[in-house]
Amino acid sequence: MSIIHYIGFDIHKKVISFCEKMVDGTIVDQGVIRATRASLTEWAEKRTAEWIGAMEATLFTGWIYDYLLPYALELKVAHPEMLKAITAAKKKNDAADAEKIADLLRCNLLPECYMAQEEYRNLRRILRYRNFLVREAVKMKNKTAGLLMEVGAEYNKARLHGAKYFRELLDHLDYVPESVLNLLQMTGSNMESFAKMEKSLISALRLNPQLKNRVELLMSIQGVGEVTALTWVLEIGEVERFSRINQAASYCGLCSAQKESAGKNYRGPISKKRNKQLQTVLIEAAKPAPRWNPRLAELYERECAKGNRNRATLAVARKPVAYMMAVDKKKIPFESREKLPKAA
């Protein structure tokens, strides 16, 4: 019977602390290695026994996880917030952190988090970069309007960010200082560049064979567009890991935090323990969704009648989560079985 060792890793940008233990807690080896592929190869090849490893989820975890996975029997990633709650102690250093992770792993108490496949994480990185470009483009648009307001220029707000109108506007701003005109030209060229890059990134994701079928099925839901479908697929990963709609809604950050003690139940604002990429996209998509989906429109009106538009938007955002889970699991186009209320 082969002996399995349990290794905990405390990962940083330049170094990785590790602690290797046997099942009874005996320390076999511990130390520090450089966070480079050459050092990891040298370290992994020196292991004399089969091993299972665990590490905390950080910015640097992804590539280290992918690189060490072929060497390990199993490799797990720990949820950072839950890990802190379990391992809170007076003494804290890298060696102690690595030892605690090894102990949690060998005792089967590690608060494991989901680690998507490498291909999905690579595609997710592209989508998140696209979202970054969109945010930067919005900042540039706001800056453009701000520069025009600073010098008292008149402009059509609805047409300001159209390329043709913007060029014509610059030609007629004779009274504006030359420095401001130069800045406006720079922001205009930057916005055009952002738009081109954003379109190319979305096109690359749209044509990807791993995503194409899932995205097309999700877009059969009225009110779910291409960006919403892509975000769902890449951020959720394997939809089968959610057994209930409530779990998916909680992961998307569409439910409030709950505190219950001594028979008293308190509901706070929507929880910050969520996937913020999904939360942002679903809430933004929920605002225009009632225009395209009569069932969501009816839900929005019913919730608005209770007096809170923000809660109504959240209610609309939660509904597509249920729809997308059903479509993603059954792998068939969406077909609603809900009946709209009859008109009075």
Give the pairing type, strands 256-261 and 264-270.
antiparallel
Q: Per residue in 4-50, pLDDT tens? A: 999 999 999 999 999 999 999 999 999 999 999 999 999 999 999 99
Identity of residue 41: T
CATH top-level class of 4-106: alpha beta
Dihedral sign of CA atoms 121, 126, 129, 135 in order? negative
The full set of domain ranges for the chain reads 4-106, 118-206, 241-330
The whole-number pLDDT of residue 297 equals 92
Structure token pair of residue 157: 């707000």
pTM score, whole prediction: 0.84
The span from the CA of 313 to the CA of 299, in Å, is: 9
* Cα–Cα distance, 75 to 85 (Å, whole number): 22
Residue 33 φ then ψ, to 5°:
-125, 155
CB 328 within 8 A of CB 336: no
Q: Locate tokens 């959720």: which residue?
A: 236
Q: Which pair of tokens denotes residue 189?
A: 């060229």
Q: Which pLDDT tens digit goes with each residue over 93-124? A: 888 889 999 999 999 989 988 998 899 999 99
State the DSSP code for 22: -
Q: Name the 3-class secondary structure at 51.
A: strand
Output the DSSP codes for 281-323: HHHHHHTTHHHH-HHHHHHHHHHHTTT-HHHHHHHHHHHHHHH
- State which residues of the chain have pLDDT below 50: 343-344
Burial (CB < 10 A; 0-12, 13-18, 19+), residue 293, is: buried
Print the SS3 string covering 262-281.
Answer: CCEEEEEEECCCCCHHHHHH
- Residue 252 has a pLDDT of 92
- Write down the pLDDT at residue 339: 57
| Orientation of helix 209-218 relative to helix 178-206, angle to 10° | 100
